[in-house]
Structures are given as structure tokens and as C-alpha cells.
Amino acid sequence: MVEALTIVLAMGVTRGWRAALVGTGAALLALAAIVAALGPALTVIPIGALRLVVGALLLVFGLQWLRKAILRASGWRAVRDEQALFEREAAEARTAARESHAGLDWYGFTVSFKGVLLEGLEVAFIVVTFGSTQGSIPLAAAGAGAAAVIVVIAGVVVRGPLGRVPENTLAYVVGVMLTTFGIFWGAEGAGVDWPGDDAALPGVLAFVLLVSLGYVTSLRRRRLAPA
Amino acid sequence: MKRFARFWWDFVVGDDWRVAAGIAVALALTALLAATSIPAWWFLPLTVAAVLWLSLRRAARY
């Protein structure tokens, strides 16, 4: 969401706010359509198979987030720089040709649309998977909407890219949560009975947290060790 | 079409296809273990931790 805000800000400042905001609105409508289409389709699947599919998806996404966050936290991968991304996007936008479609600057519209759609797709998948497993897609969508509103308000208040947001810490927390639920539901879907049923969830969370922190420490030591 | 397929591959599989493959194998083995009389709840967390570590080791050029 933070990256999407940076892209839209860069387009708004350099190419005009109309195209940037229309592109953002169109992408949000497309994301809502994806959630509206996928959500009811998933509820048709039996709960056991649904948990297996959702668990596998959450594990794939969660481990992607966690892997990147661990590599960044341990110094093996550069931490994202929102200010640099903003300046790069703005520089490209200034030199791009002006072409109008339906009264809109096409470059500003398409870059904003793609930025919000691609960044929002993961959020849409999280909404659909969590919502369908817990039987309340509207509530999950409302949570994602609230997060988007907070990011937009923060962007308006700061009047620029959210460079001071601890983005890697947020990505790390999201990675830990997705991996935890992925393990829990994936195992249930595969036929596992957790000791204590839902009470096992905090135990899985603690395990993922401790293991990932151990990996950060180990990789950081490895990086700082003399060659 | 090729770009569309590439996008979905990058979106679902990400930087390391071995992680996605490892998860698929881990879930299949968990299902096999769960079908026996042996408690299977411990297997997936440990396998996921191992898959993550192997991917991190590769990325950090051990």
C-alpha cells in the first residue's frame, strides 16, 4: 500500500492529479470486482479443501514476505527507499510523452492504475483467503479498506512518500502472520488435529516468530563475520 | 499471453520457486502422515522452517 501511495503521489505531482486519482479509483474498482468474484466462488469449496488451498496460498505469500524481510533485516538485501522510488518514478514521468485518452493524461492514468492494482492484488488475496475461511469476506474487506484509508491519510498529512514508515518491520509482521495462519490452516486442511485446536495458534505464532528472529540473527552474524 | 503468465508466476511463486515446491511437498507429506496413527501436527512447522532456511541460505550466498 505504501508503494502504491508513492507511485500515485509521483504521478499526481508530475502528471496531474486527475489522471492519477481516476487511475487509482479504476484500480480499486477492479480489486473490489476480484474480491466480489472470488469470494463467493471459494465458499462453494468444502471447508477441509478450502483450508488446504488457503493454507498453501498463505504459506507461499507469507514465506515470500518473510524471506524478503529477513534478508533486509540481516543486511543481505537493501531496505526499500520510498523517497528514491518517488524520485525515480517522478523523473520518468517528467520525460514521458503526453498522450490524452478520454480527456486523461494516459501515462499518469496507466501508471497509477497498474501501481495500485498490482500492489493491491496481494491485499485482495489476503482478504479473500482470510474472509472465506472465517466466513466473513465483508469484514476482511473492511479491515483492508481501513488500512488503505490510514495510508492515504498519512500520505496527505506528510504530503509526500511515507519514507519514515518502518516498512520492513511491517512486512516482517505480515510475513509472520501469514506464515502462521498458512501453517495452521494448511495442516488442518491436510488432516492434522492440532493439540488444543484453536489454542495451538499462539504456539505456532511463537514458533514462527522465534525461528525467523533466529534466522535474522544468524544471517546478520554471517554478514558481519570477517571473510 | 506470455507476459500474463509471467506475471502470475512471479506473483504466486516469487523469487524462489523452490519455496513454493517445498510447501507443496510439505503439505503432501503432512497429509500422508496425518493419515497414519502418528501425531502429525509438528511436521509442517518444522518443514516450513527448513524450507525457509534453505532459501535464505541460497539468497545469502552461503
Three-state secondary structure readout of B13-49: HCCCHHHHHHHHHHHHHHHHHHCCCCCCCCHHHHHHH
Residues of A in contact with B43 (CB under 8 A): 187, 192
pLDDT digits (tens, 9 = 90+) for B10-60: 777 778 899 999 999 999 999 999 999 999 999 999 999 999 999 999 988
Closest CA to A51 of A196, A197, A187, A177: A187
* A186 contacts A63 by C-beta, under 8 angstroms: no
Taking the Cβ of residue B24 and every Cβ of chain A, the question of whether any pair is shorter than 8 Å is answered with: yes
Would you list the domain boundaries of chain A?
Answer: 2-224
Which span out of A52-66, A123-137, A207-221 was modeled with the highest average pLDDT?
A207-221
- pLDDT computed for residue B62 by the predictor: 54
Residues of B in contact with A66 (CB under 8 A): 52
- Tell me if the pTM is above 0.80: no
CA distance to A109, A113, A225, per residue, from A91 (Å): 16, 18, 39
Determine, for residues A71 and B35 on separate chains, whether the beta-carbon distance falls below 8 Å. no
What is d(CA A69, CA A75) in angstroms, rounded to the nearest whole number? 10
What is d(CA A146, CA A201) in angstroms, rounded to the nearest whole number? 25
pLDDT digits (tens, 9 = 90+) for A123-163: 888 888 888 777 778 888 888 888 888 877 877 776 666 66
Query: What ipTM score was computed for the predicted complex, to two decimals?
Result: 0.92
3-state SS class at A75:
coil
For a pLDDT cut of 90, what percent of chain A falls above it? 29
Looking at residue A197, the DSSP 8-state letter turns out to be: G
* A26 contacts A14 by C-beta, under 8 angstroms: no
